[in-house]
Amino acid sequence: MNDSPDPGRRGWLFGGVALLAAAAGAGGAWWKGRPGTSDANEPMDAAFWARRFERPEGGEVDFAALRGKPLLVNFWATWCPPCIEELPMVDRFFRDQAANGWQVIGLAIDQPSAVRKFLERTPVSFPIGLAGMEGTELLRQLGNTGGGLPFTMVVNAEGGVAARKMGKLEPADLDAWRRASVHG
């Protein structure tokens, strides 16, 4: 008699374990990104600040030039509906908060040609970097182990991670992060 589970049952078991792991990861990402939660004691390392990304219109986004002010980094792609839905809100936040020292960078995890074509139809005011596959690895390094989009991270003026959010932004997220940067 064979004591090992049948292949169908084993598949369900592995699928259930994978589903639980995914739910735990998503829950952790959600918790870390909640307004009011903070990783401010987790400073960004030198490798983060050394990153550079080509811009769709030419030139580059140089993270070293962004140190010392609050920074919102939004990872997105043209094929991601929630990413596209939140871009106008992120753009409005940038326009409204730039005078208060906020910087916003969009990192496109996509083909450069698709990003250029999209931005011709739907321009934004904030700088976009073409992150491609390097951006997917950066997502994981920044705590988004599943690599899902959209993903947003806030770095405070001191260089520490102030917030992370996996999933579509809401106005309340941006408002809470703005208030937290003012009240420290």
pLDDT tens-digit map of 106-119: 999 999 999 999 99
Q: What is the pLDDT of residue 171?
A: 97
- φ, ψ at 24 (rounded to 5°): -65, -45
Query: Which class is 7-183 in CATH?
Result: alpha beta
Cα separation, 48 vs 25, in Å, equals: 23
- The DSSP string of 41-94 is EEEPPHHHHT-EEE-TTSSEEEGGGGTTS-EEEEEE-TT-HHHHHHHHHHHHHH
Cα separation, 155 vs 164, in Å, equals: 9
Per-residue pLDDT reduced to its tens digit, 153-162: 999 999 999 9
- pTM for the model: 0.78
Tell me whether strands 71-76 and 151-155 are parallel, antiparallel or unpaired: antiparallel
Q: What is the mean pLDDT of the chain?
A: 84
Burial annotation 117-151 (CB, 10 A radius, 16+ → b, else e): ebbeeeebebbbbbbbeebbebbeebbbeeebbbb
Task: State how far the alpha carbon of 126 is from the alpha carbons of 18, 76, 97, in Å.
Answer: 38, 13, 11
Per-residue pLDDT reduced to its tens digit, 78-100: 999 999 999 999 999 999 999 99
Domain boundaries defined on the chain: 7-183
Query: Residue 67 in contact with residue 81, Cβ under 8 Å?
Result: no
Nearest to 70 by CA among 167, 152, 128: 152
